[in-house]
Amino acid sequence: MSQFIDTSPRNFGDKHEDGTPILNRYSTVLTNGYDYPGAQAMLYAEGIKNKEDMVKKPQVGIASVWWEGNPCNSHLLELGNKVKAAVDKQGFIGWQFNTIGVSDAVTQGNEGMRFSLQSREIIADSIETVTVAQHHDANISIPGCDKNMPGCVMAMLRHNRPSIMIYGGSIQPGKSKLTGGDLSISSCFESAGALMYGKINEETMDDIVRHACPGPGGCGGMYTANTMASGLEVMGLTLPGSSSFPAGSPAKFRECENAAEAIRVCLEKDIKPRDLVTKESLENALVLTAALGGSTNSVLHFLAISHTADLNLTIDDFQRVADKTPILANIKPFGKYMMNDLYEIGGIPSVCKFLISAGLLNGTLMTVTGKTLEQNVANAPTLEPTQDIIRPLSDPIQPKGPIRILYGSLAPGGAVAKITGKEGETFTGKARVFDREEQLIHAFTQGDVKPTENTVLVIRYEGPAGGPGMPEQLKSSALLIGANLKNVALITDGRYSGASHGFIVGHITPEAQRGGPIAIVKDGDVITIDAVNNKLDLHLSDQEIAQRLSEWKQPPLRVNRGTLGKYCRLVGDASHGAVTDLF
C-alpha cells in the first residue's frame, strides 16, 4: 500500500500554454490560478520575483541535516548554500530547510544514545512533512551522520518526488602527536579500554582524544555512515563518487553544483525514488556492503528502506548475499585503511566498476543521472593491481561477507553478527548477565571483568522497545578490544556501531522487553555462537527455557512520555528494521 499522500499533481508530460514542459507538477497546485492566494503571497514574500516565476518555475526543497556540535553535520549548511545557488542557476527555486540529528559519538555509552535510532524516524517524518506540505516538486537531501542517510531516503520513498541525496563526506584521518599514527573515532573508545587495563597512560589517552577528529565529515572508516552512503550510491540515489568524496574537498563542492543539473534530469525524465529503489538495487547495496565489510546497522536501515518502498527484503537476504560475496576491502574497523585512502585510488565508482566487471553487481539499473550504474562508472579509474585497499577476488580478506544472520534457542527471531574470521568462527562460554550496558561499564571501571575462562557477556533490555531506542554498544565492544580480552564474547538485544568489531552479536530478536529468551539467561548458563552454522544457542532444554519464560514477568517500559515514549510503543522488532509504522 502506498505510504505517501497524492496531492493530485499535474500529469508527467503536460505542457504550459507556451509548449514548454511542466516541471512544477506539484507546486503548480498552489501557484497557478487563485485558489490559494495566501500561499502565493507568502512565496512572493520569500523572494519569488514575478508572476512568470511563480507560475512556471519548479520549487526544489534542499533539506540538510545541519546542526552544530557534530563534525559529521556542522558543514552541511555550507553545502546547502552551494546547492541552492546551483539550483537557482538552473532556473529553479530552491528552498532550504533542515532537520534534526544526533551524534552517535557524543551519545555513545550514555543516555543520549537512546535517541539515536529514533532520530532516523524523525528525520524521515520531518522531510516528508515539509516536502508534501509545501508542495515541493523535487528534493535534494544532504545528510552526514549515521541515521541521516536512511532517514532521508525513507522520506524520499514516502513523498516519491524526483530526489537526490548528497552525502556530507568523510572526515580526514587524525594524527597522533606521540606516535604519528592515523586515528579515528574508534581509537578513542578502544584506548579507553587500554587505559582501564593499564596498557597506555593518560598522556597517550589525551593525545588520542585531542587529535582523533581533525575537522568536518563523517567517521572515516567503513562504519555506518560510509556503509550507508556507499550502499545508497550503488542504488543510484546519489551522484557517482558521493560516498567517497572527502568532506570539504573541491570534489564535494562540485558535486553540490552537479546535483542541480541532475535534479533537472530527474524532473524532465520523471525519475523518482521508487523507480530506483527496487529489489535489484537493494541486492546491489547488500553486495557492496558485504564486499566492503560494512556495518551491522546496514541490516536495520536497508530493511527499513525496503519496508518504506513496499518491498520484501528480509534478514535472510543478508545472509544469502554474504555467502556469495567475499570481503575485499582492507578498511577500518578491522582493516588498515580509511575512506579517504579509497578515494585516492578512485573511490566507490572504481569499486563498482570492478564489481560489475566481476559479475557481482548489476550495472544495468537506472540512477539519478538518467544513466545506468555501469554508464556512470565507465570512466572511473581501474583499480591498480599494486594497491592494497581493495583485494582481488583471487585473494579476498575472507571468502564470505562479514554479516551473519544467526538463529537458535537464544534468537528464534534472528540476530546479527559481524564475523571477520580473525576472531575465529565459533565461541562457547559461560554467561555473565547485565540488564543495562551501564552495568557492564561499571564492572569494567571497577576492574571486575577479568575472566579466567571463556565468558559471554550478555547485555539485555537494550532493544528497540526495552532500551528504548536500541542503543549502540560501541563503548562496551571497544573496551574489550582495547583491553585485549581474547576469551570474551559480547551479545545484546541492542546494536553495535559500525566501528565495533570482535566476537559480538546484536539485534537479538525477540528482545528481552518483549519476552525473548535472552530475558531468562542466568549467570553461568552456557552459550554458543556458531558463525559456521549461523546458530546462537542457549544450552538449556526446551522444557527449561519454557519453564523460565513462564515465570518471567515483563518489566514496565522505562519511558512513558515524550518522543521515546511514543517510539517504544510504536517500534517493531530489529528483524524488520525497527520501523514505527508496521501496521
176, three cell numbers:
597522533
Sign of torsion, CA 475 477 478 484? positive
Question: Residue written as cell 532521508?
Answer: 152
Strand segments, DSSP code E, in 65-155 are 93-98, 138-142
- State the SS3 of 424-438: CCEEEEEEEEECCHH
Per the annotation, the verdict on 497 as an active-site residue is yes
Catalytic residue among 119, 306, 350, 497: 497
Residue 66 CA, distance from chain mean position: 17
Please check whether residue 538 is in contact with residue 527, taking contact to mean a CB–CB distance below 8 angstroms: yes
Number of helices (H), then strands (E), in the chain: 22, 14
Phi (first) and psi of residue 188, to 5 degrees: -65, -45
Closest residue by Cα to residue 290 from 337, 339, 326, 317: 326
- State the SS3 of 450-463: CCCCCEEEEECCCC
User: How far, in Å, CA of 131 to CA of 110, rounded?
Assistant: 34
Classify 234 as helix, strand or coil: helix
Residues 6+ apart with CB under 8 A from 96: 62, 63, 64, 80, 81, 84
Burial class of residue 464, CB neighbours in 10 A (0-12, 13-18, 19+): buried
Burial class of residue 457, CB neighbours in 10 A (0-12, 13-18, 19+): buried
Q: How far is CA 349 from CA 78, 249, 387, in A?
A: 25, 17, 16
Q: How far is CA 294 from CA 176, 326, 400, 531, in A?
A: 26, 12, 13, 17
Burial class of residue 265, CB neighbours in 10 A (0-12, 13-18, 19+): middle
286, three cell numbers:
547488500
Burial 162-189 (b: 16+ CB within 10 A, else e): bbbbbbbbbbbbbebeeeeebbbbbbbb
Q: Are strands 93-98 and 59-64 parallel, antiparallel or unpaired?
A: parallel
**How many of the other CB atoms lie within 10 Å of CB of 94?**
24
- Residues β-bridged to residue 61: 95, 139
Q: How far is CA 177 from CA 210, 274, 346, in A?
A: 9, 48, 29
Closest residue by Cα to residue 138 from 57, 80, 46: 57
Active site residues: 497
